[in-house]
Amino acid sequence: MRIGLVVDSSCDLPHDFIEQHGIVVMPIIVQVDGRAFVDNRDDETTGNFFREHLASRHDAHTVPCSREQILELFLSRLVLEFDYVFCVTIASSRSPIHENAQAAVNEVISRYKLPRREAGISAPFATRVVDSQNAFAAEALVAAVAAQAIADGHGFMAVRDRMHALIPQVHGYMLPRDLHHLRMRARARGDRSVSWLGATIGNALDIKPLVKGYRNETWACAKLRHFEEGAERLFRYAAGRVEKGLLEPFVTVCYAGDLDELRALPGYARLSEACEAHGVALLSAMMSMSGAANVGDGALGLALADEEHDFEA
């Protein structure tokens, strides 16, 4: 049985990991100053977007994958290349992509037989939409575990069960640089958790909220002074959890900027050394255009799978 994996482009996996595992990306459109950009997780395009269109802009917004676009992707390609497809999406609480994907695959099930028959494929086709209950690096963690399970030869039920057990244990974190950008994008989505006063004071005092994503909810789990110090505390925390033992051997990191800047942040080297010493894959990627459009230039994301616990560093 050929098992495929599909993600939306806010899933912050490295490009080479996507290529290695044959992961299919559903692009999201990002609009800045009236111009539309296709977010398809190409590093060169993403890097140019950060340098030329994102910095100091506060009017960027995203257009999620529609039901029609997802339906076309399945009927024109996925039902021919695979017998079973997992479609992993950003948290249903944060985006309509999950709802759109579910509506699309409901129609796929009633329409897949003709294109497969015309291609000479007699076996049935099945698919499942998976709500990652998280975003960015945390969605990438779910996808990475699924991709590795598929590569290891596990059947679709084993992959499904592994993802369902994993998702409630994924701890995702995001550390922004620009609180005004974060506040304006949150307000555009109806989220007023970051006030104008809070953003102004936070920027003035260089205090950054560490935003946690966990089980389809997001909240500020800590307030960290200075971005670089906050990054060091986040990496130190992750290294400590790696040393204690994770539920899955992956740590995913994303950064809305050049990866050389990410690797130069204080604490990153320690995390890298801890992962190498304990057999954990550290997957570092540029943050997607769509993610950066929501949280701002220079934001940092990280995720790991662990038992329920509080952030401490």
Tens digits of residue pLDDT in 229-270? 999 999 999 999 999 999 999 999 999 999 999 999 999 999
- For the chain, list the domains and their CATH numbers: 3-168 (3.40.50.10170), 169-305 (3.30.1180.10)
**Closest C-alpha among 235, 292, 224 to residue 9:** 292
pLDDT digit string, tens, across residues 272-289: 999 999 999 999 999 999
The tokens 């050049």 sit on which residue?
258
pLDDT at 199: 42
User: Can you give the pTM of this predicted structure?
Assistant: 0.92
Q: Comparing 52-61, 183-192, 195-204, 265-274, which segment has the lowest mean pLDDT?
A: 195-204
Alpha helix (H) ranges present in the chain?
15-21, 43-49, 67-73, 79-81, 97-111, 113-118, 137-151, 156-166, 179-188, 196-205, 227-244, 259-264, 268-277, 289-295
Strand pairing category for 35-39 and 217-225: unpaired
* pLDDT tens readout for residues 9-44: 999 999 999 999 999 999 999 988 778 889 989 888
82-112 burial: b if 16+ Cβ within 10 Å, else e: bbbbbbbbbbbebbebbebbbbbbeebeeeb
Q: Phi, psi (5° rounding) for residue 288?
A: -65, 160
